Structure formats: structure tokens, C-alpha cells
Structure 1
Amino acid sequence: MPTLRPVRRTLLRDSAYELIRDAIVRGEIPPGAPVRDADLAERLGLSRAPVREALSRLTGEGLVESKPQSYTRVTRLVPRDVRDAAAVVRAMHELAARTAVPRLADADLTAMREANDEFRDAARRGDVADALRADDRLHDVLVTACANRAVAATVERYTPLIRRLEWRQFGTASAAHGSAELHDRLIDACAARDADAAARITAEIWRALEQLADDPPGEPAHDASGAGEADPSVRPPGGRPG
């Protein structure tokens, strides 16, 4: 008999993680806001187990903090922490670009151009979520092509902590336009097989986030006890959050 593997619970856990993470990134569950697994489970239409697993993962990524018998809440934007994470992500993307450029195929360059076209279109429409997804697809081409699992794992680990700043950055038309222009330069460097230029441009792209970390948006006060309810914009799997 073939080995049976659990599937559904993993998918529910991942769905809960993505929905809660995205609500935090968009600011729908703001910094300092309390989160309770029971409230989130009810709103998502899930049992508490996958929600607890999702919150544990978000805690490891620095988006949620917890004190036993006291509170679980969304972390506040601490400039030093975000700046440190952004510096690590920048260094990993620089390494990915330098390593990947000699390995890129024409299909990879096409994928990057298509992603940047989608990024521009999303920015023009003011759709920050689509812009971020397109931005991820563009940079993921280089992360994948570099074939370094440590780079990929580090980027995945620290990107969520800075995603709130990316949401803020791409929320303005001028910043999004500037990012698209930098993407164009990056793609041109990759097409020219200029790894050094690609790494320099990549560093320029990610340094912008480090600078944003020094000017975080205002944050509302919240009860540190953890009392209160989760944001109603967190919706069940299959529904559109936000």
C-alpha cells in the first residue's frame, strides 16, 4: 500500500499563515494589536491548531511576539530590527544576482520583463498587493537561478519582517515608478551578463527599504495585555482578504 501523507492540515496551516501575514503586512492588523488564536480561528473558519502553528511561524519571523500567560500581539515597527533584516535581505539578493547572472537563460529574462510589466500595471492601478507579488516574481528569478538554498531560505525568513515597509513604499505612485525604473536597469544588466552591475543595482533597490526603516509610519496605541479582538478583515480561506 502506498504511504499516506497528511495533506489537508498542512494546507490549512499554510493558508492561515498567508492570510494572517498579509493582514499584518497591509496594516489591517496594526503594530501592537493583540491576536488570539481562538478569535482568528473563528474568523478564518478553522480549528485553532493551524492558527496556532501559523502564529508560531509568524513569531519566528518577527511579525508576532508572545509572552506566556500574558499576550500575543503584532510586533511594532522597531527601526533597528527592520533595518537589520533589510540589510540581510539586501546582501542575499546581491549574492543571488552576482551568482545567477551567468546562468540566466532567455526565458529567465523574459520572466523578469513580464514581472516588471505586471509590476508597472499594478502600481498604475494602485494595487499594492499585485505589485508586491510581481516584485517577488522578478527577484525570485535570480534567487532561483543562483541555486543556493541558504540564500533562498534566508530571504524567505527575513522578508516578512520588512514587508510592511514594502507595502508602504509601493503605496505611492512615485516610489513604485522609481522601483520599476530600477527593475529596468537590473534587467538590462542581466541581459548584458554584467553580474557586477546587476549586484550594484540590486543593492540600490534594497537600500531604499533600509532608509524607510528610519522613518516608520505612526502606530496607534494598543493594550499590552493582549485584550481585544483580531481585525475583521482577516477572512476565511477562499475569500478575499482586505
Structure 2
Amino acid sequence: MLRGGKPVERARMSDIALERIREAIVTGELAPGSKIKDSELAEYLGLSRTPVREALARLVDTGLVEAKPGAYTRITTLDRGDVEATLAVIEALDQLAVVTAVPNLTDEMIGAMRSANKDFAAAVKRNDIGRALTADDRLHSVIIDAAANPLLKKLIHQVHPQIHRIYYRKFSSLLGSQDSVDHHNKLIELCADHDAEAAATLSAEHRRHLGGLIGELFDADEFALSD
């Protein structure tokens, strides 16, 4: 017989801590390379130490946090090799998601993608980074959900924050242009035409394009810790 609700409440608080810490890392509020203490972070978030410790352990698994027992816990730096490896994984996952999703996309789903891109374009015009990334996520979430693959969805959500923090720091250089809006429009039209292979190829090409831009930013030392 099940008793009480504490484990559920504990899990919920851990999820809240995870989301808030992850957002702070993505936005740069917790800067790459900065050391953190669970007690101080718990106080800052207004949470107890247990869910914060659990959230940090989960973020270690995603690569956003690194820890050396008895020595330090810190936000991972923006390492070029790690970023390139993550981009390669995201490209493969995106291609699989698109190929799987396109046959399942309905007119309503295509409409949701168009709406998200409209919001994305408006946010880009205002240079509103938060709303732009939220709209971008909404658009791609339609594809991820239509793929109907829980493991694929979990993997994508696990690796995306590592790239999102780069997008957030260098938004204007990476996503803050008409190019990204046009890419979305082309992707949506291919999805509407149910051309899965062409849509997947376009998605991969755009990921490689962004990877090239990120590489140029690393070459220019644009991801120094003082940035």
C-alpha cells in the first residue's frame, strides 16, 4: 500500500531546482567556470539543499556542471571540442526527428510552426533573446513531439541547453538575423509538403552552418570567461 506524498514532493522540488539552475546557466547568470556551493545556491533559490544537490548531480550528467568530490563544483567552461561534439550529436538527432516526424505532421501542427516562427521573427527584430529562443523551441518542439519517440525527445532535451547557452551569449551573431527566419520558413514549407528527406537535409545544413559560425567565434576568442 502506498503511503504519504513526500517522495513525489521531493522529486517536484528537484525538478524545480533543475529548471532554475539550468536557466541560470543558459542565460549566463551562472557564468562558465564559476564555482558554486549547494548551500549558497539553495539560499539564493529559496530552496533546501537536498533538491539543489540532486539537481546539480543531474546537471553533471548533461555536461553543464562538473564536480570533483571534496574539491569543487563548477559550471563547465565553453570548450570548443565539447561544443563541436555536442553539435554533431544534435545534428544527428535533429535529422532523425525530422525524418520521423514529417509523415505525422498535421495541418494544425504546421500552423503551430508558422505561429512560432512569426513570434521568433518579431523577437529577432526586437533583439529579445529570451522570447526568440522560446519561440525557436516551440517550433522545433512540434517536430520533436510529432516524432513520437520518447527516448529521442529525452536526448534532444538533454543536449540542447549546452548549445542554448552559446546562442544566448552570442544571439546576434548566431540567430539574430533574417537568415534564421528564412531557414524556418523553408523548413516549414518542406514539412507542409511532407518532404521528409529534404527537410532533414535542410535541418542538417543549418546546424552545420551554425556550427561554422560558432567555430568562427571560438577562433576570435569570443567565449572568454570575461565575456
TM value normalised by structure 1:
0.84
Provide the identity percentage.
Answer: 45
Asked whether the equivalents of residues 61 and 158 of structure 1 are also in contact (C-alpha less than 8 Å), the reply is: yes
Asked whether the equivalents of residues 127 and 172 of structure 2 are also in contact (C-alpha less than 8 Å), the reply is: yes
Instruction: Look up the match of 2:223.
Output: 218
Q: Does the alignment pair 1:175 with 2:176?
A: yes
In the TM superposition, 1:143-154 aligns within 5 A as: 143-154=144-155
Return the alpha-carbon distance in structure 1 between the equivalents of residues 66 and 10 of structure 2. 24
Report the 3-state secondary structure (helix = DSSP H, G, I; strand = E; otherwise coil) of the residue aligned with 2:179. helix
Report the 3-state secondary structure (helix = DSSP H, G, I; strand = E; otherwise coil) of the residue aligned with 2:176. helix
Structure 1 spans left out of the alignment, 5+ residues = 222-242
What root-mean-square deviation, in Å, do the aligned CA atoms of Structure 1 and Structure 2 show?
2.0
For residues 77-136 of structure 1, give each alpha carbon's deviation from its aligned partner in whole angstroms, at most 9, with x where no partner exists: 111111111111111111111121111111110110011111112222222111111111
Return the alpha-carbon distance in structure 2 between the equivalents of residues 174 and 15 of structure 1. 28
Asked whether the equivalents of residues 87 and 207 of structure 2 are also in contact (C-alpha less than 8 Å), the reply is: yes
Report the 3-state secondary structure (helix = DSSP H, G, I; strand = E; otherwise coil) of the residue aligned with 1:211. helix
Return the alpha-carbon distance in structure 2 between the equivalents of residues 60 and 209 of structure 1. 25
Report the 3-state secondary structure (helix = DSSP H, G, I; strand = E; otherwise coil) of the residue aligned with 2:34. coil
Return the alpha-carbon distance in structure 2 between the equivalents of residues 157 and 137 of structure 1. 16
Report the 3-state secondary structure (helix = DSSP H, G, I; strand = E; otherwise coil) of the residue aligned with 1:175. coil
Return the alpha-carbon distance in structure 1 between the equivalents of residues 141 and 210 of structure 2. 18
Instruction: Return the structure number with greater helix share.
Output: 2
Instruction: Look up the match of 1:115.
Output: 116
Instruction: Look up the match of 1:193.
Output: 194
Return the alpha-carbon distance in structure 1 between the equivalents of residues 85 and 94 of structure 2. 14
Return the alpha-carbon distance in structure 2 between the equivalents of residues 12 and 194 of structure 1. 42
In the TM superposition, 1:93-112 aligns within 5 A as: 93-112=94-113
Asked whether the equivalents of residues 117 and 184 of structure 2 are also in contact (C-alpha less than 8 Å), the reply is: yes
Return the alpha-carbon distance in structure 1 between the equivalents of residues 42 and 18 of structure 2. 11
Higher relative contact order (CA 8 A, sep 6+): 1
> How many angstroms does 1:173 deviate by?
8.6
Q: Does the alignment pair 1:22 with 2:23?
A: yes
Return the alpha-carbon distance in structure 1 between the equivalents of residues 45 and 177 of structure 2. 32
Q: Specify whether residues 118 and 85 from structure 1 end up closer, same or farther in structure 2 by C-alpha distance, changes over 3 A only.
A: same
Paired amino acid for 2:81: R
Return the alpha-carbon distance in structure 2 between the equivalents of residues 19 and 177 of structure 1. 30
Report the 3-state secondary structure (helix = DSSP H, G, I; strand = E; otherwise coil) of the residue aligned with 2:86. helix
> How many angstroms does 1:13 deviate by?
1.5
Instruction: Look up the match of 2:77.
Output: 76
Q: Does the alignment pair 1:46 with 2:51?
A: no
Return the alpha-carbon distance in structure 2 between the equivalents of residues 116 and 45 of structure 1. 35
> How many angstroms does 1:172 deviate by?
4.7
TM value normalised by structure 2:
0.89
Instruction: Look up the match of 1:229.
Output: none
Structure 2 spans left out of the alignment, 5+ residues = none
Instruction: Look up the match of 1:225.
Output: none
For residues 9-36 of structure 1, give each alpha carbon's deviation from its aligned partner in whole angstroms, at most 9, with x where no partner exists: 2232122111211111112211111011
Return the alpha-carbon distance in structure 2 between the equivalents of residues 104 and 3 of structure 1. 42
Report the 3-state secondary structure (helix = DSSP H, G, I; strand = E; otherwise coil) of the residue aligned with 1:73. strand
Instruction: Look up the match of 1:233.
Output: none
Q: When the two structures are aligned, how many residues end up with a matched partner?
A: 221
Asked whether the equivalents of residues 62 and 159 of structure 2 are also in contact (C-alpha less than 8 Å), the reply is: yes
Paired amino acid for 1:220: L
Between 170-179 and 53-62, report the one with greater CA deviation.
Answer: 170-179
Asked whether the equivalents of residues 124 and 176 of structure 2 are also in contact (C-alpha less than 8 Å), the reply is: no
> How many angstroms does 1:174 deviate by?
6.8
Asked whether the equivalents of residues 190 and 199 of structure 2 are also in contact (C-alpha less than 8 Å), the reply is: yes
